[in-house]
Amino acid sequence: MDDVDRALIEALRANARTSYAELGRLVEMSGPSVAERVQRLEQAGVITGYHAAVDPPALGLPVAALVGVHLSDNADQDEVTDALAALDEVEDCWFVAGDESFLIKVRVADVSELEATLSRLRQVPGISRTRTTVVLSTKWENRASGQPAASEASSSRP
């Protein structure tokens, strides 16, 4: 992946509906050349799909919380994963190292719905307890840009 690929990814993340012609102007390439590059990025699994970005409060889901999920000693991780996936309120789920086994992001309409969601979570077989952090505001999300990390960038200099 080179700087052109990174520029294309960044432009598509900002607006997935950008035309190949516009992308071409951005990276000083022809539209067909850009189309080939984007197709290669898709085939390589770098670009995994396109979606419409939505505003959760506009959907009636203004309350976000990060919930750490602790598993009991005899928990079946796959069963817990399936149970978490079945909850509509769970937007994201990460299996993590540390005290908790999972970190999930939930979005709900209000605090009473968050309370009900947490109650349902604690009833899932294999979940021993949860730890919740309510999000007060979101400064940014989905920041991945395809740029190398600072340490990676500095180590590549001669």
Is residue 121 domain-shared with residue 79, that is, in the same domain? yes
**Are 87 and 101 in a shared domain?**
yes
Query: Does residue 99 sit within a domain?
Result: yes
Which positions ≥6 away from 35 have C-beta within 8 Å? 20
| 31 and 64, same domain (yes or no) | no
Residue 62 shares a structural domain with residue 130: yes
Same domain? 73 vs 102: yes
Supply the pLDDT for residue 155: 39
What pLDDT is recorded for position 145? 56
Higher pLDDT pick, 140 / 142: 140
**What's the pLDDT at 141?**
83
Give buried/exposed letters for 62-93 (b at 16+ CB in 10 A, else e): ebbbebbbebeeebeeeebeebbeeeebbeeb
The predicted pLDDT at position 154 comes to 41
82 & 126 share domain:
yes
Sheet holding 127-135, edge to edge: 90-95, 102-108, 63-71, 127-135
> Does the pLDDT of residue 45 top 50, yes or no?
yes
CATH number of the domain where residue 43 is located: 1.10.10.10
Q: Could you read off the pLDDT of 80-116 as tens digits, one per residue?
A: 999 999 999 999 999 999 999 999 999 999 999 999 9
The parent domain of residue 29 ranges over 3-51
Residue 64 and residue 39 share a domain: no
What CATH code is carried by the domain that includes residue 110? 3.30.70.920
Residues in the chain: 158
Is the same domain home to 38 and 73?
no
* DSSP symbols for the chain: --HHHHHHHHHHHH-TT--HHHHHHHHT--HHHHHHHHHHHHHTTSS--------GGGGT--EEEEEEEEEPTT--HHHHHHHHHT-TTEEEEEE-SSS-SEEEEEEESSHHHHHHHHHHHHTSTTEEEEEEEEES--S------SPPPHHHHHHT--
Please check whether residues 90 and 46 belong to one and the same domain.
no
In a domain? residue 39: yes
